Amino acid sequence: SLSREYRLTRAVGIFGQVMAEFVLTYMLGHEREVLARLMSQVERKWDNRTGQSLSGRKVLIVGAGNIGQRVAEFLLPFGVHVYGVASSARTQAPFIEVTALSDMTRLLGEMDYVINLLPNTPETHDLYDAKLFASFKPTALFINVGRGVAVVDADLVEALKEGHLAGAVIDVCRQEPLPQRPSILDRLWSAVDRS
């Protein structure tokens, strides 16, 4: 039995920096083709690709709350153009535009990166489905660091197979901890291997 002498508090603001670093790591890895270059090194093959820069890339942060704000501020020095999605449209620095969740498909086709930071609510459950993934720019990278239940796993796998987006970084899953087999990560690797 727990002692009744405790105080419940919130941990606001402590995850922004860590989340921003995580997101940046994968964005830079994507632009610089780090995994492909590592594979070349392991296979002892010369790889002369130069990779790309984040400068000028368009980033959509879906969830422009405290953590989304911190991620946006963290990415700005890299020259990215940051857009946001919130429950309703608003003006919010440093975002170029913050649109309503109901209007986010208008921006998806232009975005190089789509970063999900949404909480689990009835409006966000299964938000990322086949229809939404079909709106993505084919070269976009989807990064889910929000909630696993926001993504319909089978639809993400199919969208990758069909080339609706270039890749996906999955930090959270619908079922955690993941079962031994099969899991969304196994299906994602299969989808990526076939493309």
Q: Report the pLDDT value the prediction gives residue 10, as an integer from 0 to 100.
A: 58
Q: Are the CB atoms for 140 and 111 separated by under 8 Å?
A: yes
Whether the predicted pLDDT of 22 surpasses 70: yes
Tokens standing for 38?
Answer: 């590592």
Whether the predicted pLDDT of 8 surpasses 60: no
**What CATH number matches the domain at 16-194, 3.90.700.10, 3.30.565.10, 3.40.50.720, 3.20.20.150?**
3.40.50.720
Q: Are the CB atoms for 25 and 78 separated by under 8 Å?
A: no
Domain ranges for the chain: 16-194
Neighbours of 99 (CB within 10 A): 21
Whether the predicted pLDDT of 20 surpasses 60: yes
Q: Report the pLDDT value the prediction gives residue 40, as an integer from 0 to 100.
A: 78
Whether the predicted pLDDT of 11 surpasses 70: no
Cα–Cα distance between 17 and 30 in angstroms, integer?
A: 20
Q: Report the pLDDT value the prediction gives residue 63, as an integer from 0 to 100.
A: 96
pLDDT digit string (tens) for 78-122?
Answer: 999 999 999 999 999 999 999 999 999 999 999 999 999 999 899
pLDDT digit string (tens) for 56-69?
Answer: 999 999 999 999 99
Mean pLDDT, all residues of the chain: 86
Higher-pLDDT residue of 185, 139: 139
Provide φ and ψ at 168, rounded to 5°. -145, 140
Lowest-confidence pick of 6-20, 21-35, 124-138: 6-20
